[in-house]
Chains A and B, each alone.
Chain A
Amino acid sequence: MEQATGVLRGSAHDDVVLESIQFNEEIRGIMAPAPAPENGSSFTALLELPPTQAVELLHSPDCAAAAREPPCHVNTNQKPYLLDSYGGNLTFPSNAALIERAAKFSVFAGENSPPEDAARLAPTSLSGAVKNEPQETDSNPCSTQGCVSDPAVETKNERTPKRKEREKKGKGSLKKSKGIADESSGDGEKLPYVHVRVRRGQATDSHSLAERARREKINARMKLLQELVPGCNKISGTALVLDEIINHVQSLQRQVEFLSMKLAAVNPRIDFSLDSLLATDGSSVMDSNLTSMATPVMWPENLADGNRQHYQQQWQFDAFHQPLWGREEANHNFMTPEHSLLSYDSSANSASLHSNQLKMEL
């Protein structure tokens, strides 16, 4: 999480720098028509800001366009835009906890969740965000990152070419601002479009950026798969891991086929037992299959609370409880077969155990 936070912190700079130019135009567009105060437009934001900062904000569009602004101005620039896009939610995440949340959600969640969470959770403490020093951007990277994705979705098409141009031009400042956070650019895939952080000395070519974003997406998914498939953690290299995955899928499919053949072979039995064990009453029909019906019949009735699922649980329990009861009326044996049946992983073991006991008994 800290890494993610650091990445957010450092990476927001370039993003923020890039965003500023586009946002400035937006802001001018926003401020020109009559802003309704209750809609959280730019004026509302300005009103909440202390006067000096507000003046700065008003002036900064010009400054930012001319020179690469320090992030604080840019951050304050972005707020009206973000406010407007939220339509009244004066929400700015300024908590470290929120940053972590946004990072967490942005890594795993879809594109909507970071801005939604930010909107829901963040206190509207503009003052805290406004006091940003150029270096202090931990609150706003989150808002930038999280909030950008939401407007980004809407205005994706026009943003992307602009962004890439700015990224190319802003390489110099990128290098400077990225000096703080030199970590890997792993955030690229969270957001709906290319949102890749550039490392020091790496190309900011639009193609390579897209390539990098794509690669990061793929790598993240490969990691998940590696965790899923046993024995893939030690293997390095995409091709070999893919081999393992393919083998695993094939073996699983073969297992399913084998089990289905086995089930088909047990065919005549299924009709009997399924009908009997799934019957709500079960008392009379069970006689045909299982011996010593009295105690087991009592047992499901005690446990059954009218829920269908419970009955089906009983179905799985009873067949095993039967032989045990027949052999020894030990009630403490209830729990173990029940647990073992519930956890399918050990069911194979326990089932073989029970069948062994059955055979011993008979």
Chain B
Amino acid sequence: MSSLQSNADSTNSEPLQRSNPKKRRKIGHTNSPTLVPWRSDTQQRIYSSKLAHALRHVLRRNHPPPPAKSNTGREVRETADRVLAATAKGRTRWSRAILASPLNRWKLRRMHKKVRKAATGLAKRSPETRRRLPVVQKKARVLGRLVPGCRKLSFPNLLEEATDYISALEMQVRAMTALTELLTGGTSHASA
């Protein structure tokens, strides 16, 4: 069992296993938060079981009334994200941000983006002023927008949050893939 796991993960997980088992302690404030080992088997199981429960609730809610507007996908996605954040136990900033905003983050974000684009379109930017933003900082802003709750974060902390977020996302993708495969595999079997 474990050998297969290690074989499958060997290429990617070795550098991670160096850094993940090392639990970082915080002094008073979160300098370097304790990282969840997203790659471990137990985490996957925890996540998938929680996901299954949550999805059941969501889909049961949607199933009897046939969805007039197809927002089930978004709901599924949001529950998946919330379950992911819950699995993170709120140690990281992005997990806290996801859990803390039950409002539709994506809708708000789209609104924000539209507003911002309109604003920047009006502001005149000469070539000199544009060069003042170093390229790296611009990309850091973009990354901050991508990782939930990390917009106004310092660069090193942002990188750290991004590290954790990426590994969490990878686990989420793996778990959801397995789940869909399982269910669609069962579906085709039963229907035929």
Report which A residues bind B (CB closer than 8 A).
108-113, 153, 192, 214, 217-218, 221-222, 224-225, 227-230, 238-239, 242-243, 245-246, 248-250, 252-253, 255-257, 259-264, 266-271, 273-275, 278, 289-290, 308-309, 312-313, 315-316, 319-320, 322-323, 338-348, 351-352, 354-355, 358-359, 362
In the bound assembly, the distance between CA atoms of A192 and B25 in angstroms comes to 12
- Does B26 lie at the interface of the complex (its beta carbon under 8 Å from any beta carbon of A)? yes
The answer to whether A245 and B55 touch across the interface, beta carbons within 8 angstroms, is no
Measured in the bound complex, the distance between the Cα atoms of B138 and A238 in whole Å is 12
Q: Pick the contact of A347: B9, B32, B177 (CB < 8 A).
A: B177
Beta-carbon contact of A108 and B19 below 8 Å: yes
Given contacts A225-B162, A267-B59, contact A344 B177 (CB under 8 A): yes
Contact with A along B88-101 (1 / 0, CB 8 A): 00000000000000
For residue B140, CB closer than 8 A to chain A, the reply is yes
Q: Is B173 an interface residue (CB 8 A)?
A: yes
With A260-B176, A312-B49 given, name 14 new contacts (CB 8 A). Answer: A110-B25, A224-B163, A225-B159, A228-B16, A246-B142, A259-B80, A260-B77, A263-B55, A266-B183, A273-B183, A312-B48, A343-B5, A344-B178, A346-B8
B residues lining the A interface (CB < 8 Å): 1, 4-5, 8-9, 12, 15-16, 19, 22-27, 31-32, 41, 44-45, 48-49, 52, 55-56, 59-60, 62-63, 70, 72-77, 80-81, 135-136, 139-140, 142-143, 146-147, 155-156, 159-160, 162-163, 165-167, 169-170, 172-190, 192
A112 to B143, CA, bound (A): 30
**Closest partner residue, chain A, to B184 (CB atom):** A266
**Residue from A113, A320, A347 with most neighbouring chain B CB atoms (10 Å):** A347
- Cα of A138 to Cα of B169 in the assembled complex, Å: 43
Measured in the bound complex, the distance between the Cα atoms of B183 and A269 in whole Å is 7
Chain A residues near B73 (CB-CB < 8 A): 257, 260-261, 264
Residues of the B chain whose Cβ atoms lie less than 8 Å from the Cβ of A262: 180, 184
Going nearest first, the 4 A-B pairs with the smallest beta carbon separation are: A351-B181, A260-B77, A221-B159, A264-B72
Q: Indicate whether A355 sits within 8 Å of B185 (C-beta atoms), given known contacts A192-B27, A224-B19.
A: yes
The answer for the CA separation of A341 and B5 in the assembled complex, in Å, is 10
